[in-house]
């Protein structure tokens, strides 16, 4: 997967993830299947804690992958979706997100929507 290299989107992502402890900067809209997987496989981990781990991963230099959106149900709504692959509780975990931002990127305005979580 190609990494996110666009300076504006990267700035917006980092800003949103840096606000992980503040309500609404990292939101979750998981399918029932993804939510059940989190509950079953990521023992005693809250969604807020997953946000903290995403921030820690990116702040430490972890890569954000960027994919042009091609799925029919999302075309026209999102140009890209973004993925993280991080280790949580010894499991390689895939996290799909959508970025909400505007130009110019201003501090504390961008946010991400997590739409899928599962094992890689």
Please report, for the chain, the start and end positions of each structural domain, with discontinuous segments joined by +.
Answer: 7-119
Q: Say whether pTM exceeds 0.85.
A: yes
Asked if pLDDT for residue 1 goes beyond 80, the answer is: no
Q: Extract the tokens encoding 3.
A: 């990494």
Q: Does domain 7-119 have CATH number 3.40.630?
A: no
Ranges of H-type helices in the chain? 7-18, 32-41, 47-59
- Taking only the tens place, the pLDDT of each residue in 14-61 is 999 999 999 999 999 999 999 999 999 999 999 999 999 999 999 999
Strand arrangement of the beta sheet that strand 111-119 belongs to:
26-28, 111-119, 91-100, 80-88, 65-68
pLDDT digits over 63-80, tens only?
A: 999 998 887 877 778 788
Does residue 116 carry a pLDDT above 80? yes
């Amino acid at each position: 997967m190609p990494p996110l290299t666009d300076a504006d989107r990267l700035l917006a992502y980092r800003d949103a993830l840096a606000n992980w402890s503040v309500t609404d900067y990292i939101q979750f809209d998981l399918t029932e299947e993804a939510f059940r997987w989190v509950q079953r496989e990521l023992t005693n981990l809250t969604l807020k804690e997953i946000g903290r781990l995403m921030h820690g991963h990116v702040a430490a230099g972890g890569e954000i992958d960027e994919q042009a959106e091609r799925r029919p149900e999302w075309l026209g709504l999102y140009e890209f979706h973004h993925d993280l692959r991080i280790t949580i509780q010894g499991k390689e975990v895939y996290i799909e997100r959508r970025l909400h931002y505007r130009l110019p990127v201003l501090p504390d305005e961008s946010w991400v929507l997590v739409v899928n979580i599962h094992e890689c």
